[in-house]
Amino acid sequence: MAVEAGKAQFVQAMFTRIAGRYDLMNALMTFGRHQAWRRVAARATLLAPEGRALDLATGTADLALAIADVSPSRQVIGADFALGMLREARRKLRARPDARVALVAADALTLPFADASFACVTSAFLLRNLADLEQGLREMRRVARPGGRVIMLEITRPTLPVFASVFGLYFQRVVPVVGAAIAGDAEAYRYLPDSVARFLTPDELVVLMRNAGLRSVGYRRLGLGTIVIHTGVA
C-alpha cells in the first residue's frame, strides 16, 4: 500500500484543530456508544500477558483509561502525534490520579520503543488515518512482545443492506453538518466518512495483519456492523 503524500501532516493538523470538541463529537455521532466499544476493546487486553500496554493514537486517552480500569496494575502508555489531543488527554488525566497512564508524543509509523516492549498494543480509530498502513501494522507487531496482543478498534462499512443505506446517508450528509456546527470544522467531518468509504474491509485487513507477522488474527463486529475490533497475537 503506497504512502499517501502529505496525509500525515493533514491528519496531525486536523486532529489538533478538533481536539477541544473531539469527545463531544464522538458522543453525538455514536449516540453515546463509543465508550462502550472502547470498554469491549479494553477487556480484550485481559488476554494479554502481564506487562505494559501501549495505546496508539490515544487521542483524549479514553481507551487508555478503559484499559487502566480493567487492569489497574498495568502501566498504560498513551501515544499520539497530535499535540492538541495530548493536551486534552492531560487535562482528563489530572482528574484521574489513580490511573496508571502516561502520555508520550510519538508517530505510530516510527515508534520510539524497543522491540518487544509491550504486552499489548491497542488503538481506536487509528488505522484509516495512517499514511502507510502496512508500516503501522509492522510497528505494532515489532513493539509487542512474543505472545502479546494487538487490539484495534475501527469503523467499517456495514453490510446489512437497508441499514447500510441509512448509515451511508447519515455518515455522508449529517455528520459533516454536525461537525461544522459543533466543532467548527466541516472538513474534518467530511474526511471521516470519506476515509471509511476508502478503507479496507475487515477481511482485507486480516490479510495485512497476517502479512505483518501477527498470528491468530480475527475480528468481531459491533454497532450493527459499523464497528470492528481486530485482534492478533505477536
Q: What is the mean pLDDT of each run of 10 residues along the chain (234 residues)?
A: 72 94 92 95 97 98 98 97 97 94 98 98 97 97 98 94 87 89 90 91 97 97 95 98
Residue 122 bridge partners (DSSP): 55, 151
CA distances (Å), 168 to each of 47, 109, 163, 177, in order?
34, 30, 8, 14
Residue ranges of E strands in the chain: 53-56, 76-80, 101-105, 118-124, 144-155, 215-222, 227-233
**Which residue in 23, 20, 16, 49 sits closest to 38, CA to CA?**
23
pTM above 0.85, yes or no: yes
- What is residue 169's predicted lDDT score, i.e. its pLDDT? 87
Contact yes or no for 90/78 (Cβ under 8 A): no
- What is residue 2's predicted lDDT score, i.e. its pLDDT? 41
The C-alpha cell that represents 58 in the structure block: 490515544
Contact yes or no for 124/24 (Cβ under 8 A): no
Residue entry with cell 470492528: 228
- What is residue 161's predicted lDDT score, i.e. its pLDDT? 84
Contact yes or no for 202/221 (Cβ under 8 A): yes
Domains recognised in the chain with CATH numbers: 30-155+200-233 (3.40.50.150)
